[in-house]
Amino acid sequence: MRKKVIAGNWKMNMLPNEAISMITELTPLVKDTGNEVVLCVPYTDLFYSLLTAQGSNIKIGAQNMHYEEKGAYTGEISGKMLKSIGVEYVIIGHSERRQYFNETDETVNKKIKTAFENNLKPIVCVGETLEEREAGIAYEIIENQTQKALEGLTEEQVANTIIAYEPIWAIGTGKTATSEDANEACKKIREKIAKMYGQNVGERVIIQYGGSMKPENAKELLEMSDIDGGLIGGASLKAESFAKIVNYNS
């Protein structure tokens, strides 16, 4: 049985005082869940968030990192730096980074490898645009992104990678994929991984859905056979709404 991983992605929101308040409020609300609870916060919130979440079941993640360990990369943060302060998760290849910051399948692949070298758990985003969906090539796109992201990883590393299926047209738009469509896409990703790395790895890998997930639709999505969690943007900014998603099954 795969554990559900409910992860918030705050994107470029929340000042440190807001992060501290949110996590303080969230802590008692999610303390009894059996689901994994993660908040991926801006770099400037990481340290405050880690301190505030100490002793709770809330894990802290970053939203990006560089693949090099150190060097002349002005403005970048390395996996080693994240690990050094106690970060456990890192989002890699979010569609916003692919779209606005030149993230490619190749840099995504390098970053995943570096994440594992530093004992960080990668949450790797894949997803199609509306045009690609309408052209009937959504599965081809996400299978291809998945294959390129995972190239050169060991079976064990693939089994420990979290894939977030985030159809781009559903992000921040209020449009959610139907639970059947979201499940079908997650299933296709799982089948692709099973074909490449074996049935056992396919069964173990955690595949999240992301894109306008909120308290009202979380239960239906999270109860689907191949959706093992959520990557939540807008609804993760408030403790109450995020907690409702985390507690969808309690």
Contacts with ligand 13P, residue ranges (CB under 6 A):
9, 94, 166, 171-172, 210-213, 231-235
* Min separation Cβ 172 and ligand 13P, Å: 4
Q: Which is nearer to ligand 13P, 92 or 232 (CB)?
A: 232
Give the phi and the psi of residue 33 in degrees, each rounded to 5. -75, 150
Residue 155 annotated as catalytic: no
Q: What length is written for the chain?
A: 250
Which is catalytic among the residues 36, 96, 128, 166? 166
DSSP 167-221: -GGGTTSS----HHHHHHHHHHHHHHHHHHH-HHHHHH-EEEEESS--HHHHHHH
Of the candidates 36, 66, 94, 128, the residue annotated as catalytic is 94
- Nearer to ligand 13P (CB atom), residue 197 or residue 248: 248
Residue 35 CB, nearest approach to ligand 13P (Å): 17
Q: By beta-carbon distance, which residue lies closest to ligand 13P?
A: 233
The answer to whether 231 touches 125, Cβ cutoff 8 Å, is yes
Whether residue 151 lies in the annotated active site: no
Nearer to ligand 13P, 132 or 166 (CB): 166
| Cα 11 to Cα 223: distance, rounded to the nearest angstrom | 26
Residues marked active site are found at 94, 166
